[in-house]
Amino acid sequence: MKFLSLSLLALTVAPYISSVSAAEAGKLGFALGNQNPDGSCKKTADYKKELAIIGTRGKHIRMYTATECGDLNELLPALKGTDFKVLLGVWPTGHIQYTQDSKFEAEKEALKKALPKYGFENIMGITVGSEHMYRKELKGDKLSKNIEEVRKIVRAVKGGENIPVGTADSWNKWVEGDAEPAIVGSDIVLANAFSYWQGQKMNNATQSYYDDIMQALNRVQTVKKDQPFEFWVGETGWPSKGKAFEDGAPGSVENQRKYWKEAICSMLNWGINIFVFEAFDEDWKPAEKDNSVEKHWGVWNLDGTEKFDMSC
């Protein structure tokens, strides 16, 4: 995989940063699950406890659905009176007890009820789906239509006129041509990139990550042209436990720390906004193919202590 040298990277990054200037550090946020370690749905009190911990390192969080655990009615009250901003998620395809169409309708209805009730004080934007193009569930043109449906709901509520609506997908899907309608239709674009899932050794993990994100950002900027947009790394990180993927490095606290310091901190310093995956471990997730790695992406232990020093 070709990696841009730092001198060339400096020239490459600066023109593509639309949400912050190149001299300004990027914003740091954290993906936040909606279930407790035992698999039960989080309540407002649970979110308040977690926000107090997350607030020591960042003020942005990312969620994925509006209805799975009554997310909006449990999370948004926890945010009231804080300076946190949440990137809400709306799921446009079938999930658990819903068919594809009924899930999206339920998500939209939840949004219609919650937005007038809670307002936009703590809402930074809304994503419609996550990695649906990567999973081949939706193509860019259909995703673009779903984004527009949600945008109309948001714009119809007082205070929602300037709230960005977009989507998140794997970095490589943004580079492919099929994604162009989704890029055109998005006010905010999130690109996910995991060197772990590309089977990278630690000595190439940062380079691989940088190359992925720069390719995605370059493509989005090319398509958007002079149209303003906000760009974030939607997910990235390294697990603290778990077997290696393919020939890459395994999960360990040391590898997680190294990736944080070298990949995440350095990209923040370049002015790129990042949502780290994820805030806390999710013990309820099952092992897959004899690998429990999905449980161990959190950067905080379940007792609220940092797994390593997260200062940048």
pLDDT of residue 247: 96
> pLDDT > 70: what percent of the chain?
90
Scanning the structure block, which residue is given the tokens 């081949």?
136
DSSP 3: -
DSSP 177: G
Asked if the structure places residue 245 within a domain, the reply is yes
Give Dmax over CA atoms of the chain in angstroms: 52
Residue 131 is among the residues annotated as catalytic for this protein? yes
Q: Which of 68, 235, 278, 282 is catalytic?
A: 235
Number of structural domains (the chain) is: 1
Number of CB atoms found within 10 A of residue 217's CB: 23
- Answer yes or no: are the C-beta atoms of 188 and 209 closer than 8 Å: no
Clarify whether 161 is annotated catalytic: no
Q: How far is CA 195 from CA 20, 29, 41, 260, 311, in A?
A: 25, 19, 30, 12, 21
Question: Which residue bears the tokens 């020239």?
Answer: 11
The least confident of 16-20, 126-130, 220-224, 228-232 is 16-20
Task: Give the SS3 label for residue 192.
Answer: strand
CA dist., res. 295 & res. 301, Å (int): 11
* CATH code of the domain containing 163: 3.20.20.80
| 306 is a domain residue | no
Q: Which ranges in 69-165 belong to alpha helices (H)?
A: 71-79, 100-118, 140-155
What is the per-residue pLDDT across 109-141, written as a single tens digit (0 to 9) for each?
Answer: 999 999 999 999 999 999 999 999 999 999 999
Asked if pLDDT for residue 21 goes beyond 90, the answer is no
Task: List pLDDT tens digits, range 190-203.
Answer: 999 999 999 999 99
Q: Quick one: pLDDT at residue 18?
A: 40
Q: Domain range holding 98?
A: 6-295
Question: In sequence order, which ranges of 138-201 are alpha helices (DSSP H)?
Answer: 140-155, 171-175, 180-184
Instruction: Please state which of the ranges 44-53, 268-277, 281-290 shows the lowest mean pLDDT.
Output: 281-290
Residue 199 belongs to a domain: yes
Q: Find the length of the chain.
A: 312
Give the CA count within 13 Å in the CB-facing half-sphere of 280: 24
CA distance linking residue 117 with residue 211, whole number of Å = 42
Residue the block writes with tokens 């989005």? 220
301 belongs to a structural domain: no
pLDDT exceeds 60 at position 53: yes
Question: Are 38 and 245 contacting, i.e. CB atoms less than 8 angstroms apart?
Answer: no
Which pair of tokens denotes residue 277?
Answer: 């995956």
Q: Is 263 among the domain residues? A: yes
Judge whether 55 lies within some domain.
yes
pLDDT score of 3 more than 50: no
Distance separating alpha carbons of residues 105 and 108, to the nearest angstrom: 5
Catalytic residue among 121, 131, 137, 149: 131
Q: Which residues pair with 61 in a beta bridge?
A: 30, 86
Q: Give CA–CA dist 200/198, Å, rounded.
A: 6
The mean predicted confidence, pLDDT, of the chain is: 91
Query: In angstroms, what is the C-alpha Rg of the chain?
Result: 18
Classify 186 as helix, strand or coil.
Answer: coil
Contact 180, 227 (CB under 8 A): no
| CA gap 171, 211 in Å, rounded | 10
The reply to whether 195 falls in a domain is: yes
- For residue 305, being part of any structural domain is answered with no
The type of residue at 56 is T
